[in-house]
Amino acid sequence: MKFYDCSTAPSPRRVRIFIAEKDLEIDTVDIDMRKGEQLGEAFRAINPHCTVPVLELDDGTRLTTTAGIWRYLEAEHPEPSLLGATAKEQGLVADLQWRIEFDGMLAIAEALRNSAPPLKDRALTGPINYAQIPELAERGLTRLGHFLAGVDGMIGDKPFVAGDRYTVADIDLLVTVDFAGWLKQGLPEDAANAQRWYQSVSERPSAKL
């Protein structure tokens, strides 16, 4: 098995943390996205979508999304469960993870990719160039503000996003909050539940990855 990673990017970090929380050892290759290695011919032959992370299985099958990689590794290595154990927990984890990805992570991607000068014409990942849309960058920032303001209520008095157990909903929220820092945004300082949660998950060894 081989994991194509990029140590400087938030998407593959979702998989790095997952692997660490499962305590797995997987051969890892770092792709230098700052130099555009994901768009080069060699990597395009590995993943025509030109995105990282990628997990290559021993039979050569390649999974090219975080969703696919998480699901495969959870099925192969069920303990500790990161996608939920009971049916209800699985449903809640999937629900929360989707919200965090769409309302949080995607909002940041929109804000950043549509404004950062080094990402000119790279408003979307993938092999095709798309021009930046400044209005979309602005909208992304607005959405992100609403999302971050809602984290306190999402956590409530629970230890973790989905309840008593650390799951991919925590991974995605941690990566999202840290990624928001790239835009100088963060959790409101007076959001006591959100801040308590953030401190707790940031102290896990996996968060250093």
3-state class (DSSP) for residue 175? helix
Among 9, 19, 31, 69, binds a second copy (CB under 8 A): 69
Helix axes 66-76, 10-21, angle to 10 degrees: 10
Helix orientation angle between 10-21 and 168-180, rounded to the nearest 10 degrees: 140
Q: Does 99 bind a second copy (CB under 8 A)?
A: yes
- For residue 90, state whether it binds a second copy (rule: CB under 8 A): yes
Local structure of residue 125 (DSSP, 8 states):
S
Alpha carbon distance 44, 57 (integer Å): 17
Residues 6+ apart with CB under 8 A from 25: none
When asked if residue 44 is in the footprint of a second copy (CB under 8 A), the reply is no
User: Among 35, 45, 75, 190, which residue interacts with a second copy (rule: CB under 8 A)?
Assistant: 75
Q: How far is the CB of 200 from a second copy (least distance, A)?
A: 24
**Would you say 163 or 186 has its CB closer to a second copy?**
163
Q: Considering the rule CB under 8 A, would residue 182 count as an interface residue with a second copy?
A: no
Pick from 81, 97, 167, 176 the residue near a second copy by CB under 8 A.
97
Question: What is the closest distance, in whole angstroms, from the C-beta atom of residue 104 to a second copy in the complex?
Answer: 13
Part of the chain binding a second copy (CB under 8 A), chosen from 6-14, 16-24, 90-98, 180-188: 90-98
Q: Does 158 bind a second copy (CB under 8 A)?
A: no
166-189: b (≥16 Cβ within 10 Å) or e? bbbbbbbbbbbbebbeebebebee
Shortest separation between residue 184's beta carbon and a second copy, angstroms: 22
Please state the closest distance from residue 126 (CB atom) to a second copy, in A: 8
Measured from the CB of residue 133, what is the shortest distance to a second copy in angstroms?
A: 5
User: Which residues are registered as beta bridge partners of 55?
Assistant: 3, 63
DSSP letters for 28-93: EEE--GGGTGGGSHHHHHH-TT--S-EEE-TTS-EE-SHHHHHHHHHHHS-SS-SS-SSHHHHHHH
Where on the chain is the footprint of a second copy (CB under 8 A)? 49, 55, 57, 59, 61, 63-72, 75-76, 84, 86-88, 90-99, 103, 123-124, 126, 128, 130-131, 133, 135-136, 139, 142-143, 146
